[in-house]
């Protein structure tokens, strides 16, 4: 996590000019910034238009002795009232149309694009690459994409609301359970950019981070190959250790015997677990597999029932790897 934060730090400005936006990584983001700065400067003008007269009047018409009367009791001016009722319309209409045009850009999905699937889950992102037949997952996961290509994210949530937020692209979209939402981008800069979860989703909401790694096409292809080969060459225990991180088992389960939210893996294999029904079961290969896939079927006494089901998310190879990993902590 620390190295992730260091990398991200380079991409967001540190106490630079007070109004500066994070580095723009797409042509849309640059267009967005024109509008943002338009609002900023006209807003500053509007602010001065109100505060300067206010301070001026306070100084000029300050009551100097107790019996000083107002210089005028005039309480109406037709032209002024019309002016400050209708002139703002023009300004606001400009803001509206400019913002609306940008909004259409965000939500008009291009036809020719690479499709990625995004799954939000407490508290990590899974990105599936249908064309490349790979997927990446976990807290702080690296999401590789090729530069200068349209990318569409088709997104859904496994549990509660999340929101997929890429500040460097000025885009964000809520990720919902039971419905698909889409977001697209075309990066024109190579580099690594943060992805935040922007919709509050519980304890580890602020750790539900990822980073978008924008690469030239050749590098991207190599990155995909690297992911494909990585899993095959690992020993079961190594793969288990990797899944322990990426599937965020680490959030609740320790390996050193201390109890976090769930039981520690140390000495777990072969022990006797008591279910909430009072039934006692031996923690063997079958039990671990069943509990990982559908934890609600075998709730264990004394622990909160918060483990998400991994049914359909893990291959047989990966389950075996996790069992071997757990088994290794005697």
Partner 1 sequence: MSSNTNYINAKTGFASWALTIDHKRIGLMYLVSIMTFFLVAGVFALLLRTELLTPANTIMDAKRYNQLFTLHGAIMVFLVIIPGIPASLGNFMLPLMLGAKDVAFPRINLLSYYIYLFGAILALSSLWVGAIDTGWTFYTPYSTTTDGGVVLMVTAAFVLGFSGIFTGLNFIVTTHKLRAPGMTWFRMPLFIWGIYATAVIQIMATPVLAITLLLLIIERTVGIGIFDPVLGGDPVLFQHFFWFYSHPAVYIMILPGMAVVSEIVTVFSQKRIFGYKQIAFSSIAIAVLSFLVWGHHMFVSGQSELVGMIFSVLTFLVAIPSGIKIFNWLATMYKGSISLKTPMLWALGFIFLFTIGGITGIFLGTLSVDVHLHDTYFVVAHFHYVMVGGTFMAFMGGLFYWWPKITGKMYSEFWGAASTLMVVIGFNLTFFVQFIMGSQGMPRRYYSYLDQFQIYHQISTVGSYILGLGFVMAIWTLLRALKTGKPATKNPWHAATLEWTHTEVMPIEHNFHEQPTVNEGPYEYH
- Nearer to partner 1 by Cβ, of 200 and 274: the residue is 200
- Nearer to partner 1 by Cβ, of 138 and 240: the residue is 138
Closest distance between partner 1 and the C-beta of residue 224, in Å?
28
Strands 181-186 and 272-274: unpaired
Q: Which residue has the tokens 């037709």?
A: 78
- Nearer to partner 1 by Cβ, of 119 and 326: the residue is 119
Residue 159 to residues 75, 123, 153, 156, 177, Cα–Cα distance (Å): 59, 10, 18, 9, 6
- Nearer to partner 1 by Cβ, of 64 and 330: the residue is 64
Closest distance between partner 1 and the C-beta of residue 142, in Å?
16
Closest distance between partner 1 and the C-beta of residue 147, in Å?
21
Closest distance between partner 1 and the C-beta of residue 304, in Å?
7
- Nearer to partner 1 by Cβ, of 106 and 293: the residue is 106
- HSE-up of residue 264 (Cα within 13 Å, Cβ side): 11
Closest distance between partner 1 and the C-beta of residue 77, in Å?
7
CA separation for the pair 197, 232 (Å, rounded):
31
- Nearer to partner 1 by Cβ, of 70 and 218: the residue is 70
Counting every residue written for the chain, the total comes to 330
CA separation for the pair 85, 298 (Å, rounded):
66
Region of 8 (left: φ > 0; alpha: ψ -120 to 50; beta: rest) is: alpha
- Nearer to partner 1 by Cβ, of 71 and 272: the residue is 71
DSSP reduced 3-state for 2: helix
Sign for the pseudo-dihedral over CA of 173, 176, 182, 186: positive
Tokens for 263, please give them. 């039981």
CB atoms within 10 A of CB 260: 11
Closest distance between partner 1 and the C-beta of residue 99, in Å?
3
Residue 135 to residues 163, 222, 225, Cα–Cα distance (Å): 20, 15, 12
- Nearer to partner 1 by Cβ, of 63 and 330: the residue is 63
CA separation for the pair 161, 167 (Å, rounded):
19
Closest distance between partner 1 and the C-beta of residue 31, in Å?
9
Closest distance between partner 1 and the C-beta of residue 112, in Å?
21
Show the CA angle centred on residue 123, arms to residues 246 and 228, nearest 5°.
25
Helix (H) or strand (E) holding 197: strand 191-197
Closest distance between partner 1 and the C-beta of residue 143, in Å?
17
Q: Which of 227, 213, 188 is nearest to 7 (CA)?
A: 213
CA separation for the pair 40, 16 (Å, rounded):
16
- Nearer to partner 1 by Cβ, of 174 and 221: the residue is 174
């Amino acid at each position: 996590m620390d190295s992730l934060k260091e990398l991200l730090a380079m991409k967001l400005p540190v106490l630079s000019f007070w109004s500066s936006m994070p580095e723009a990584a797409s042509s849309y983001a640059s267009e967005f910034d024109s509008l943002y700065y338009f609002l900023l400067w006209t807003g500053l003008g509007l602010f001065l238009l109100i505060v300067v007269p206010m301070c001026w009047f306070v100084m000029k018409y300050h009551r100097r002795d107790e019996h000083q009367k107002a210089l005028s009791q005039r309480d109406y001016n037709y032209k002024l009232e019309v002016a400050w009722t209708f002139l703002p319309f023009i300004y606001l209409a400009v803001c509206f149309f400019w913002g609306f045009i940008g909004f259409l850009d965000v939500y008009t999905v291009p036809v020719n694009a690479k499709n990625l699937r995004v799954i939000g889950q407490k508290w990590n992102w899974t990105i599936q690459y249908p064309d490349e037949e790979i997927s990446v997952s976990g807290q702080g996961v690296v999401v590789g994409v090729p530069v200068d290509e349209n990318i569409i994210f088709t997104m859904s949530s496994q549990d509660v609301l999340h929101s997929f937020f890429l500040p460097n692209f000025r885009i964000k979209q809520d990720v919902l359970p039971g419905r698909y939402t889409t977001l697209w981008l075309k990066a024109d800069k190579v580099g690594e950019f943060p992805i935040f979860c922007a919709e509050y989703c519980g304890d580890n909401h602020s750790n539900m981070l990822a980073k978008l790694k924008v690469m030239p096409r050749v590098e991207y292809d190599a990155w995909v190959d690297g992911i494909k080969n990585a899993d095959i060459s690992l020993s079961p225990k190594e793969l288990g250790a990797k899944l322990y991180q990426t599937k965020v088992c680490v959030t609740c389960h320790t390996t050193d015997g201390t109890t976090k939210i769930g039981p520690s893996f140390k000495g777990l294999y072969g022990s006797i677990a008591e279910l909430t029904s009072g039934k006692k079961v031996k923690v063997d290969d079958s039990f671990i597999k069943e509990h990982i896939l559908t934890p609600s079927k075998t709730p264990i006494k004394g622990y909160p029932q918060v483990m998400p089901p991994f049914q359909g998310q893990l291959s047989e190879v990966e389950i075996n790897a996790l069992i071997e990993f757990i088994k290794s902590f005697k």
